[in-house]
Structure 1
Amino acid sequence: MTEPLFLILDEGTTSTRAMLFNAAGVPRGTAQRELNQHYPRPGWVEHDAGEIWDRTLACAQEMVAAASGPDRIACIGVTNQRETVVAWDRNSGEPLARAIVWQDRRTAGFCGDLRAGGHEAAVRDATGLLLDPYFSATKMRWLLDNDDAVRGAAQRGTLAFGTIDAWLTFKLTGNLLTEAGNASRTLLLPLAGESWDEGLCELFGVPTAALPRVTDSAGDFGTSSLFGAPIPVTGIAGDQQAATIGQGCNSPGETKATFGTGAFVLANMGAEVPRSEHRLLGTVLHQLGGKRHYALEGSVFVAGSLFQWLRDSLNMIVTAAESDELARSVPDSAGVVVIPALSGLGAPHWRADARAAITGLSFAATRAHVVRAALEAISHQTQDLAAAFAADGAAWTSLKIDGGMSANNWLAQDLAGLLQVPVVRPDFVETTALGAAMLAAVGAGLHHSLESAAAAMIVSGERFEPAMDEGVRSTRLANWRAALARL
């Protein structure tokens, strides 16, 4: 009998991919297209939502052909960059404006006004989130205030607002829905509430009529007829939730870190709504059968994108992989410290006003020292998160890592040393797509639970043990804190 295949649409920040998996979690094919990044003003980051769809569809069609037709594909799963907002007309199905990307900082002033008005504590208690431009609601409000087409659609009652999962699902199936984990990143969904909160929507000025229906993470989300035969969409998750699932973090306390465009650490907190006193985020990990599991999250805005910047803007490296070789070519960073606040600083600092800096430069500093310091900055930001998690009672005993940057062995070993915990990297580091495949398999009834999907689809990988001299570690942390204090 021919094995069933899962078609996974993995919508990232810099590219879109379609991947095929079998029921054992083995990848059977990949198609990828780059996405254009638009920076119309400092701090603004936009995508063309039409381009996202067109390139996603092209990748999906390529994988359907690779599978020898749609009859081989049991189901579709979707995983996506979170917080990014798309506005479209639900009648025409066309975007009304460029999508505002999660990295965008244009609403910092609005967030500051809400904080000054004393709203942050209530918003945090309800949603688990802080008032920061990172999240979706203020982006929606900005579009309503500044884009005539968006405002006109709202007045006509044809406006649809959604994160990327809602946009892709609408284009695939015609249904207007969003998965609970993605919805929990908008500032409009209470962690303990079933759907959108009227009071929060009023606070941010977002019409509830424009928002999609909140759903489970696995189930029947509709059928796509775009590939020559009907294929059900059965699994949806934001990229960081999907990676947590793909790492098999199914028990409270298990923690993963994904190092992609940014760096995102999620710890499974079980069925209890998480509360942070140290500026971490509470978020929905997944919702199955109407029951939610939650995570505590620390979000770093710049990780892999730092090396893209070093490559494309400063010409310091030719490929991201070169950073490993350069870091090993020098014994230390020669006192150089990189603060990668190219889009502000995320958790636990939450400094939307912060700007990147390179300190400690001298005539002794070379390209290799700066690149090594950039890698060290990823570890330093992760250590800041580790301290916040520990203060919130969720100390890490080990850390599972994934994402494109986790393939860098120097970084993996540096993380183990600076964090003083074992770091574990799976053989297959694209756990975001794997987690979406696991959810799709559960939603299609091909695995009865995430635990059984994990047992069948996850392969263990390499382990890095702490091996950093304590004097070196203390000096690095002191230099990092001193550099942060200068911002």
Structure 2
Amino acid sequence: MVTVLAIDQGTSGTKAVVVDGGGRVLALAEEPVAPVYLDGGGVEVDPQVLLDTVLSTGRRAAAAAGVPLDAVALANQGETVLAWDRSDGRPLGPAVVWQDRRSEPVCAGRAEHAVEVARRTGLVLDPYFSAPKLRWLRDHVTRDGVVTTTDTWLVHRLCGAFVTDTSTASRSLLLGLDEVTWDPWLLDLFGLAGEPLPDLVASDAVVGTTTAFGPPLPVTGLVVDQQAALLAQGCVEPGTAKCTYGTGAFLLAQTGSAAVRSTAGLTTSVAWTLRGNTSYCVDGQVYTAASAVRWLTDLGLLDGAHALDATAAPDSEGVLCVPALAGLAAPFWAPAATASLTGMTLSTGRGHVVRAVVEGIAAQVAGLVDLVAADLGSPMARLRVDGGLTRSAALMQAQADLAQVPVDVYPSAHATPLGAAACARLALDPGLSVADAAGDWTPQRTYEPLWSADRAADLLGRWRDAASVAAGSGS
């Protein structure tokens, strides 16, 4: 049985788990990461903190498990980038986080090519993805070293390889989605044609060996965080879908070997390359989920995410929130949109505001459920969910009510590292299938819709109207 140290380097924290061959978590270590939010839409983080937390959580989890390890796997943020010196691994500036909007002019200057970009990549020409931020680094930070996503840098620091996996690369606006290769036309478009590019690898490729966590371990199981959670939740058949509620909320639906181009404003990415085959997924993004809850906490309206259920009123009493605190993603793609709270009166209390924010998050995800159904040609039967905010019964019930589908809560808080561990097991066990590596699971809890379809449609209609206003005001 293969035992894996799986590390999830995320936006707001780094988590390391030791997972045995049956998917059981033997040890856990976590450390926070604090991005800095700047005026003008900038979001940065110290790269050294990312590396330090990868090393410290990995070492603590390995020590706590007290068992021999067979591999180390790494899940990453996907679109966070940095410049660094390839000769010694030294960062040449801060890492620019996926939420950063300062590369909007890069996209605006290439707007005439948006349709061709979407055709080639499956993505939308938006600062959310990597290439605009890579161009911004070259224009505003440094022309030295290399510019890559953080996974390439972290892996280089662990074992010296210069690689990225296909799922992460598919979030860059530089990958030809059908060919799964770097696209020369896209590189030219962003002025990155002369840049050294990491080698593209499968998520079950062994890319090197590290002694960072003790005796030498193969480095494998490289995968972007949301796709890792998709695998952990067993979404390997076309039409199966999950939503992860973290800093943002991310809904992904498996499409199998077909790189389906969304007609509903979603994006298409590589889900993973495993066993020599590439699977795809459509996905929709909500930029602020847990970050909206943190905003409520910072304002003093909430004592923290743990207090959501105790604080949220049973009904919003007409208060409506569009929590576009970092812009709106699918299907609006309005990066400059701002949040709104409407419907307040002198009787409005903090519980109503908190309830409105909860319903605003759920409304965005419910909209994505409808868009996925439109792309796949059939309604979604149920939604699998994971992430810290799934501990809120208020949010999960609102999600079931507004999406009008049962919501199955994943029984572990560690879907992303478990997905990376599954990729690593595939690397080391040639007889294992992708479905077997993902494994079976029973929901910790299932939330059935309690609202009528008419009630859900009424709130969603009012919410979409408010979101359209927010999107228009940000254009």
Please state which band the TM-score falls in when normalised by the shorter chain.
Answer: over 0.9
Kept in 1, the 8 Å contact 2:258–2:280? The answer is yes
Number of the residue aligned with 2:98: 102
Write the letter of the residue equivalent to 2:303.
Answer: V
- Is structure 2 residue 333 aligned with structure 1 residue 350? yes
Displacement of 1:288: 1.8
1:422 equivalent in alignment to 2:406: yes
What is the CA distance between 1:469 and its match in structure 2?
2.9
1:400 aligns with 2:400: no
Distance 1:324 1:143, change over 3 A: same
- Alignment partner, residue 50 of structure 1: 48
* Secondary structure of residue in 2 paired with 1:344: coil
Alignment match of 1:476 (pick from 442, 459, 462): 459
Which position in structure 2 is the counterpart of 1:337? 320
The amino acid that maps onto 1:183 is: A
Matched position secondary structure for 1:119: helix
Deviation string for 1:260-280 (max 9, x for gaps)?
A: 110111110010111111111
- SS of the aligned residue for 2:133 comes to helix
After TM superposition, the score normalised by the length of structure 2 is 0.95
Residue segments in structure 1 that go unaligned for 5+ positions in a row: 154-158
Q: Deviations over 1:340-376 (max 9, x none)?
A: 1111001111001201111111111100000011100
1:261 to 222, 231, 247: 247
**Residue in structure 1 matched with residue 31 of structure 2 by the alignment:** 33
- Please name the residue that 1:182 is paired with: 168
* 2:35 alignment partner, SS class: coil
Give the match for residue 433 of structure 1.
Answer: 417
Letter in 1 for 2:394: W
> In structure 2, what is the equivalent of residue 452 of structure 1?
436
| CA distance 1:208–1:74, shift in 2 (3 Å) | farther
Counterpart contact for 1:447–1:453, Cα < 8 Å: no
Q: Distance in 1 between matches of 2:288 and 2:419?
A: 23
In structure 2, the partner of 1:10 is 8
User: How far did 1:208 drift?
Assistant: 4.9
Matched residue SS, 2:41: coil
Report if aligned partners of 1:246, 1:458 keep a CA contact under 8 Å in 2.
no
Aligned pairs for 1:232-247 within 5 A? 232-247=218-233
The residue aligned with 1:123 is 117
Write the mapping of 1:137-286 to structure 2, written as runs, cut at 5 A.
Answer: 137-147=131-141, 150-151=142-143, 153=144, 159-286=145-272
Match of 1:302 in 2: 288
Look up the equivalent residue of 1:416 and give its one-letter code: A
Asked if the contact 1:67/1:73 (under 8 Å) is kept, the reply is no
Conserved in 2, the CA contact under 8 Å of 1:128 and 1:191?
A: yes
Whether the aligned pair in 2 keeps the contact of 1:341 and 1:354 (CA below 8 Å) is yes
| Partner SS, residue 234 of structure 2 | coil
Give the Å deviation of 1:459. 4.3
**Once superposed, what is the RMSD of the aligned Cα atoms?**
1.6
Looking at structure 2, the residues matched to 106 and 209 of structure 1 have their Cα atoms a distance apart, in angstroms, of 21
Once residues 213 and 295 of structure 1 are traced to their aligned partners in structure 2, the CA distance between those partners, rounded to angstroms, is 22
Q: Which residue of 2 aligns with 1:156?
A: none
**SS at the partner of 1:57?**
helix
Aligned equivalents of 2:431, 2:351: Cα separation in 1: 48
1:316 aligns with 2:301: yes
- Counterpart selection for 1:371 from 338, 347, 354: 354
**Structure 2 residue runs without a partner (length 5+):** 471-475
The answer to whether the aligner puts 1:133 opposite 2:127 as a matched pair is yes
Tell me the SS of whatever aligns to 1:316. Answer: coil
| 2:445 counterpart residue number | 462
CA distance in 1: counterparts of 2:109 and 2:61, whole angstroms: 47
> For residues 272 and 229 of structure 1, do their structure 2 counterparts lie closer, same or farther at Cα, with a shift above 3 Å needed?
same
SS at match of 1:468: coil
Contact 1:35 1:52 in 2 (8 A): yes
Q: Which amino acid aligns with 2:447?
A: F
Residues in 1 aligned to 2:110 and 2:243: alpha-carbon distance in whole angstroms: 31
Q: How far 1:421 moved relative to its partner? A: 1.2
Distance 1:300 1:287 in 2: 25
Q: Give the SS at the match of 2:132.
A: helix
**Superposition TM-score, scaled by structure 1 size:** 0.93
Answer yes or no: is the 8 Å Cα contact 1:404–1:430 preserved in 2: no
Distance 2:453 2:280 in 1: 35
Moved more, 225-234 or 344-353: 225-234
Shift of 1:211: 1.8
The structure 1 residue matched to 2:367, chosen from 384, 397, 405, is: 384
How many aligned residue pairs are there? 469
| AA aligned opposite 2:73 | G
Match of 1:79 among 66, 69, 75: 75
CA distance in 1, matches of 2:357, 2:380: 24
Contact 1:198 1:208 in 2 (8 A): no
User: CA-to-partner distance for each residue in 1:108-164, whole Å, 9 max, x for gaps?
Assistant: 12212211xx201110000000110000001111111112xx30x2xxxxx222222
SS of the residue 1:321 aligns to: helix
Q: Distance in 2 between matches of 1:10 and 1:244?
A: 14
